[in-house]
């Protein structure tokens, strides 16, 4: 493992559940859009909640919810199945506008962490199954967009996790070999994509998945990205 870590020159991060607290952000977003869409469409909020596996009683997404690991377009499609009279593109755009407005809660002070990693010579990227526009807004809001060497969303053109293509796009953009890159994420989709791309798999426990669900698919499991700085030591490249 030490040898594998020593070879790492690039870090590709998932966004939600890895950089940002998933539940605080997405339970809030889901509650809001369900209420607003139900009021505007006269469709039962219960039907809408069921379509994306949201528990109205607890105000939380269920483990199998498409919101957790799916793309923005997949979430739109799930809701649209109960809203046949809505224009799909209009619904997708409306949901994305609310995503951009939704407050993000950093797992750790991200700019300080990213600056520390950059000072050690690491190339850094973010690949999310969220839409790129939403990701840009969230990353800019916490002051790390300018520190990235790569950013891709599910609609950027490389595909989405668990496919390896968006991860390999980071390798191409940074001129790194896959085995010189670690994918850091909180879900099986992140780890499966990393495995398919031939990258190191680092799991963090700040998302919805548990250690027992992730450990068999990861090279390393960390409580959070806060542990990366001490773990990774590298001279400038």
119-154 per-position pLDDT tens digit? 999 999 999 999 999 999 999 999 999 999 999 999
Task: Kindly indicate the confidence band of residue 24, based on its pLDDT and cuts at 50, 70 and 90.
Answer: confident
Contacts of 3 (CB under 8 A, 6+ apart): none
Instruction: Provide the pLDDT for residue 69.
Output: 82
Instruction: Provide the pLDDT for residue 12.
Output: 98
Comma-separated ranges of CATH 3.40.50.1000 domains in the chain: 2-20+105-231
Which residues on adjacent β-strands are paired with residue 184? Answer: 13, 202
Distance in angstroms (rounded) separating the CA atoms of residues 63 and 149? 32
Assigned architecture for domain 2-20+105-231: 3-Layer(aba) Sandwich (3.40)
pTM exceeds 0.85 for this model: yes
Task: Kindly indicate the confidence band of residue 233, based on its pLDDT and cuts at 50, 70 and 90.
Answer: low
Give the tens place of pLDDT for each residue, 42-83: 899 999 999 999 999 999 999 899 998 889 999 999 999 999
State the chain's mean pLDDT as an integer: 93
């Amino acid at each position: 493992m030490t040898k594998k870590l020593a070879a790492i020159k690039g870090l590709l991060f998932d966004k939600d559940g890895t950089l940002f607290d998933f539940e605080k952000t997405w339970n809030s977003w889901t509650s809001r859009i369900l209420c607003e869409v139900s009021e505007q469409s006269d469709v039962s909020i219960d039907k809408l909640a069921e379509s994306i596996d949201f528990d109205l009683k607890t105000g939380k997404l269920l483990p199998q919810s498409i919101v957790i690991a799916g793309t923005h377009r997949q979430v739109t499609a799930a809701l649209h199945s109960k809203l046949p009279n809505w224009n799909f593109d209009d619904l997708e755009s409306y949901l994305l506008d609310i995503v951009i407005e939704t407050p993000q809660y950093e797992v750790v002070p991200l700019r300080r962490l990213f600056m520390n990693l950059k000072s050690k010579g690491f190339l850094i990227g973010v690949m999310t199954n969220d839409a790129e526009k939403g990701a840009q807004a969230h990353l800019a809001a916490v002051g790390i967009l300018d520190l990235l060497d790569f950013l891709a969303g599910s609609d950027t053109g490389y595909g989405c996790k668990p496919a390896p293509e968006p991860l390999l796009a980071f390798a191409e953009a940074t001129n790194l070999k896959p085995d010189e890159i670690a994918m850091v994420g909180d879900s099986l989709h992140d780890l499966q994509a990393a495995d398919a791309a031939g990258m190191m798999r680092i799991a963090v426990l700040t998302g919805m998945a548990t250690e027992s669900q992730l450990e068999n698919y990861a090279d390393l499991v960390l409580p959070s990205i806060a542990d990366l700085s001490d773990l990774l030591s590298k001279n400038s490249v």
